Amino acid sequence: MEWFNSSIAPLKDLLDFLYKKSKTNDVNKKQVIIELRDNLNVFKNGFINQSPYDMMIDLLSRDAIQSAIKENFSFKKLRSGIIKASTIYEERNKKYAGWTAEKLVDKIDEKIVELKNIKKMNHDSVKDVRNNISLMMSNLYFRMKLLADFIQSE
């Protein structure tokens, strides 16, 4: 999880921002922001404690996203518009310039499902899988961080 080291300092401020941003009367928006915050905390604490990917994958949640989808929540309420290059702080995320919050949330949800399914298909562990779990986890983390950065860029 060396990839996480460079982003740990700004993460604390981002988590504080998400905590404040979750103070809203819009239940779906609140739940999605809290879930994003909690998932980012999984990465932070997993890195600090050198937790195995299996444990981290188990702790990642997508319940609020699924609930919001069922209720036809517009993810534009998280942040309208498109992600501008000036909002993207990691070079690896430049490909997401022009994306909307809705598209990014969909990709985050998709990656969480994929990781959980890979784990299930391999005797409830990703330890010996052929997939590059470290890369998949880092991609997921940086997508979630980008979403938080985008929301904060209001």
The overall average pLDDT reported for the chain is: 93
Q: What average pLDDT does this structure show over 63-86?
A: 97
**The pair of three-digit structure tokens given for residue 2, joined into one six-digit string:** 């060396």
Predicted TM-score (pTM) of the model is 0.91
CA 35 remoteness from chain centre: 9
- pLDDT tens sequence across 88-134: 999 999 999 999 999 999 999 999 999 999 999 999 999 999 999 99
At 10 the pLDDT is: 74
Assign residue 84 a region: left if phi > 0, alpha if psi is -120 to 50, beta otherwise?
Answer: beta
CA 47 remoteness from chain centre: 15
At 1 the pLDDT is: 55
Mind spelling out the 3-state secondary structure of 52-119?
A: CHHHHHHHCCCHHHHHHHHCCCCHHHCCCCECCHHHCCCHHHHHHCCCEHHHHHHHHHHHHHHHHHHH
Element (H, E) at 120: helix 101-121
Contact at 8 Å (CB) between 60 and 46? no
How far is Cα 73 from Cα 27, in angstroms, rounded to an integer? 10
Mind spelling out the 3-state secondary structure of 128-154?
A: CCCCCHHHHHHHHHHHHHHHHHHHHCC
